[in-house]
Each structure stands twice: as structure tokens, then as C-alpha cells.
Structure 1
Amino acid sequence: MRQGGRPRDTHIDEAVLDAVSAILEETGYRTLAVEQVAKRAEVSKAAVYRRWPNRQSLVLAELRRRLGRVVTPDTGCTLCDLTEALNLFARTFTCMGPEFFSPLLADCSADPDLRTTFMETLFDPPREAVRATLSLALERGDLREDTDLTLTVDTLASLVHYRLLFGHAPVTEDELERAVTSLLSGLARDFPALRAKAGVTHGMA
């Protein structure tokens, strides 16, 4: 059954999110205000508030647009796929810049709905990609049967979070590959075979 009222103008949605993106790039999250976004998008504040009730929702909507759909890597090469899955984690947080990850989380934590949206937008998708990649590796027999998937996911994810938040060490593809290689050397049933397969399939060193 079709609901009454005018259909939502997607052009306004796009203009508002484009404005949010530009402001984030120019001045960051802390000073972003709905009034500022409305002026930049050349729409009324009421038009913005009809779509997003606060600036946190605005920013999360823009980050969701930037991230797109997270797809679990599945090439059959455990070392390659796990490295790519960890790169998904890194791209999730670098897409917005580490300097406003903490204040955004703090602003969302007091509101259960906002916190849920935050987790569903920025935390759950890349984490699930890492978990799914590890589950596939376990099913293929590449990992030891006693591997604790939750602990392994948290171990890998914490490396990305720790380095991006404190900025003391790089989060590059080479560094993430080193981390995955180090972890798998202890979890794999036959690590030399996994490393050899990665080298043949994807040209990894």
C-alpha cells in the first residue's frame, strides 16, 4: 500500500551528504553543524532534520556511503584473503580519518540507537569479513581445529585500531600482511604450504 505524502527527494539527500563530506575534509568532525551543512547544500535546516535528526546521524550516513558494501574475500588463499579482510578494517577507519573516530564514538555512545548505528556502520561489517574469512579457512582445514575465532578476530582488529588511534606505527598493506603472516604462523596446520600457495596464487613474498 502506498503511503501518502510527497516522495523523498534523493537529490537533496545527495547534496546534503556531499556537503557533509566536504566539511569533514576541510574542518573535521568536531566543528560540523547542521546549520553549516544546510547552508553548504543550499537547503533548509528543516529539510536536513526531516532526513537525519542530528549531526551524528548525518556523519554516519556519509561514512556508510563512503564505505559501500563490505564483501568477504574468498579466493581460496587464506593468507591472501585474510590480508585483504584486514585491509577492509583499515580502509573503514582511514575513510574518515582517525582524528574524529574517538569523538564520534563518544558522541554516539550515550544514545543506544546511535551507538547501534555506529556499530552497524563502522564496526560490524569489516569485523564480520575477517571472521568469515577465518571460518572459511577453518572449514578448508588451513587452521588448527582449536583456533578461537573470536580471539583471533579481536587480535587482528586491535592492531588496526591501536595503530590508527595512536599513530605510532604505519597501517600499510605490507604491515598488515606481516601481521597476518605472523599470526598464521602459529595458527595454521601447515604454514609453509599456506605461504607457498599465496606466493603461487598472488605473487606474495
Structure 2
Amino acid sequence: METTARRPGRPSDPRIDEQLLRGTQDLLVEQGYERLTMDAVAQRCGASKATIYRRWPSKAALVVAAAAAALQAPDVPDTGDLRTDLLECGRAYLQREGRDSQILAAVMSASRYDPALRDAAQHALGAPFGNLFEQVLSRAVDREGVSAVVDVPTLAQVFPAIAYQQVAAQGRLITEQDVVRVVDGVLLPALAAQATFAAGARR
């Protein structure tokens, strides 16, 4: 009879995970990434550093996990209208004043100077949100008559790149006006231009 191999040690307790992530979020808001330490998280949560390191191998990994727990991407929109779906993708980046926006700002600002944090944040935070645009644009190519020559991966990165620049470099939150400006002024015109170019090339 085949059995599933069990990892050594006691199984992870979700309650402890949640407590550690919550404590890390609080310290990010209070102190920022640079001043946050594993010792401070351990003290805040009444845990040992060994407990933390069993779950996350580094400060960057812990902070990104804490941010990802607070900032989860929504489902891919599918309203039947391309513009509306793109607007909904952009609205996923809206961060009202408050705790979640402070967590995001702390991570994004620090990631400019910390390659390990930047790479981890891109994988855990950036990719799920950027995937919203890629799936909507890919679907438009498949079923909405948008030309198959459209460079979906590049267009899908336009809004995330603008959002990162605005939040990380300028310290400004994404607004509804930003969403409409990029969708109506960049993405939809780019789709139309690529489709026109493709049609001309086929003549």
C-alpha cells in the first residue's frame, strides 16, 4: 500500500501563520520595510525566530507573504464588453487610503532598492494582478474579433508598469482617473492601431 511521505516536524498551524502575517503587516505600516526585523516580528507575536524561519526563509519572503495576504487579486472580469473588462482590471489596483495601501506602498517603495524583495513581490503580488489584463486581452483575441497579431504580453504589462512607477517612485495611489486614462488613452488605441496595421499588411 502506497503512503504519502510526510514532511518532518509538526504540521504548520494556520493560526500561527495568520498571527505572524498580521504582525508583519502591522510592523510594515508602523516602521516600514527597512526597520522591520525578524526579531521585531517574533517579539510582536510572542513567537521564536525559529518558528518564523520554518515558514519563511527570509525577511523578504515573510514581508511579501504578509502583503499578499492583504492584497489578493479578484477574479478575471467577464462582462461581455472589452472596455468594461479592462476598466475592471485597472480598478483592481485601486487602493483607498488605509492600512492595505500603506502595506503596498511600504513594499513597493522598498523593492526599488532590494532586488530580492522586488523579484518576490513581482511573483506574488504583481503577476496575479497583471494576469487579469493578460487573460482579458487574450480572450479578446480569441472571441471578440481583435487581431491575433496583437502583442498581448506587452500590452498586459502597460498598466502594471504604470501602477508600479506611480506607487513606488512617486508615492501616489492609483485613482479611477488613472484607470480610465490608461484604458481609453493607451490600451484601446493600441489595440485598434495594431489591428489596423495587421489589416494593412494583409492587403
TM-score when scaled to structure 2?
A: 0.77
- Segments of structure 2 that go 5 or more residues without pairing to the other structure are 194-203
- The amino acid that maps onto 2:136 is T
Once the two structures are overlaid, the 10-residue window that deviates more, 172-181 or 140-149, is: 140-149
Once the two structures are overlaid, the 10-residue window that deviates more, 49-58 or 135-144, is: 135-144
- The amino acid that maps onto 2:175 is T
User: Partner of 1:82 in structure 2?
Assistant: 86
| 2:35 is the alignment partner of 1:31 | yes
| 2:44 is the alignment partner of 1:40 | yes
How many Å apart are 1:128 and its aligned residue?
1.4
| 2:72 is the alignment partner of 1:65 | no
Give the Cα separation in 1 of the matches to 2:119 and 2:189.
35
How many Å apart are 1:188 and its aligned residue?
3.6
TM-score when scaled to structure 1?
A: 0.76
- The amino acid that maps onto 1:159 is I
Contact 1:108 1:115 (C-alpha < 8 Å) held by counterparts: yes
Matches within 5 A, 1:39-188: 39-89=43-93, 94=101, 96-104=103-111, 106-109=113-116, 117-167=120-170, 171-183=174-186, 184-188=188-192
Deviations 1:120-179 (A, max 9, x none): 202211111111111112223353443221232233332222222332876211221122
How many Å apart are 1:41 and its aligned residue?
0.3
Give the Cα separation in 2 of the matches to 1:116 and 1:171.
22
Aligned-partner SS, 2:9? coil
Contact 1:90 1:160 (C-alpha < 8 Å) held by counterparts: no
- The amino acid that maps onto 1:141 is E
Deviations 1:27-58 (A, max 9, x none): 11110000000000011122112211221111
Once the two structures are overlaid, the 10-residue window that deviates more, 122-131 or 30-39, is: 122-131
Aligned length: 184
Give the Cα separation in 2 of the matches to 1:53 and 1:168.
29
Aligned-partner SS, 1:97? helix
User: Partner of 2:200 in structure 1?
Assistant: none
Q: 1:182 to 1:35 in 2, by over 3 A?
A: same
- The amino acid that maps onto 1:163 is Q
How many Å apart are 1:106 and its aligned residue?
3.9
Give aligned-pair identity as a percent.
Answer: 29
How many Å apart are 1:2 and its aligned residue?
5.6
| 2:21 is the alignment partner of 1:17 | yes
Aligned-partner SS, 1:96? helix
